[in-house]
Amino acid sequence: MEEAVKMQTPKPNVENQEYWQAAGRGVLVIKRCIDCGEAHHYPRAICPFCHSANTEWQEVAGTGVIHTYTVMRRERPSTVTAYVTLDEGPIMLTNIVDCDVDALRIGMHVKVRFADADEGIRVPVFSPR
């Protein structure tokens, strides 16, 4: 187990601030299009599939599997960057934390948790479950 690396702090904007507010409450949300039904990530006001502006935030359990990952060995402690396939379909860039980096595998089941950044912002990351 390695100690988590301090997260770099993102700056929310009017289009995505609800995502960060939810993360602050410990909830992962994604965007789903009411018209075509498709979920996407990262979240957008306009659906990237059918271009409808009729999109809504959806709370999700934050469970998925590792689609691919890499261990940044030069960092101390090592950072794991990954794409996680959410159960709702989209892949999501993230870090895998609180894990044995040498035991990670593609297809491993993971669950969201939230890491502290500066300015009170919390960032979704994932751990093996």
Partner 1 sequence: MTIRDKAYIAGIYEHPTRKAPDKSLAQLHAEVAIGAVADAGLTMADVDGFFCDNDVPGLGPISLVEYLGLDVRHVDTTETGGSAPIVHISHAAQAIASGKCSVALITLAGRPRSAGLSANPPPNWDVPELPFEYPYRSSVLNQYAMVAMRHMHEYGTTPEQLAWVKVAASHHAQHNTHAMLRDVVSVENVLQSPMIADPLHRLDCCVVSDGGGAIVVVSPEIARSLSRPLIKVRGAGEAIRDLRGGRANILESGGVKSGAIAFEEAGVRPADVKYASLYDSFTITVIVQLEDLGFCEKGLGGRFVADGRLISGVGRLPVNTDGGGLCNNHPGNRGGMTKVLEAVRQLRGEAHPAVQVPNCDLALAHGTGGWLASRHGSATVILERE
- Residue pair 55/44 in contact (Cβ under 8 Å)? The answer is yes
Mask for 94-113, x = binds partner 1 (CB under 8 A):
xx----------x-------
Q: Measuring CA to CA, which residue among 119, 28, 111 is closest to residue 66? A: 111
The answer to whether 40 contacts partner 1 (rule: CB under 8 A) is yes
Q: Give the integer Cα–Cα distance in Å for 35 and 129.
A: 34
Strand partners, 56: 32
Alpha helices in the chain (DSSP H): 17-24
Closest approach of Cβ 72 to partner 1, in Å? 5
Closest approach of Cβ 41 to partner 1, in Å? 4
Task: Looking at residues 10 to 39 of the shown chain, list those that interact with partner 1 (rule: CB under 8 A).
Answer: 10-13, 15-16, 20, 38
- Residue pair 44/32 in contact (Cβ under 8 Å)? The answer is no
Tokens of 40: 């996407």
Number of neighbours of residue 116 by Cβ within 10 angstroms: 12
Task: Looking at residues 64 to 83 of the shown chain, list those that interact with partner 1 (rule: CB under 8 A).
Answer: 67-75, 79, 81-83
Closest approach of Cβ 46 to partner 1, in Å? 10
The answer to whether 4 contacts partner 1 (rule: CB under 8 A) is no
List residues near partner 1 by CB under 8 A.
5, 7-13, 15-16, 20, 38, 40-42, 44, 47-49, 67-75, 79, 81-83, 86, 89-95, 106, 117, 123, 125
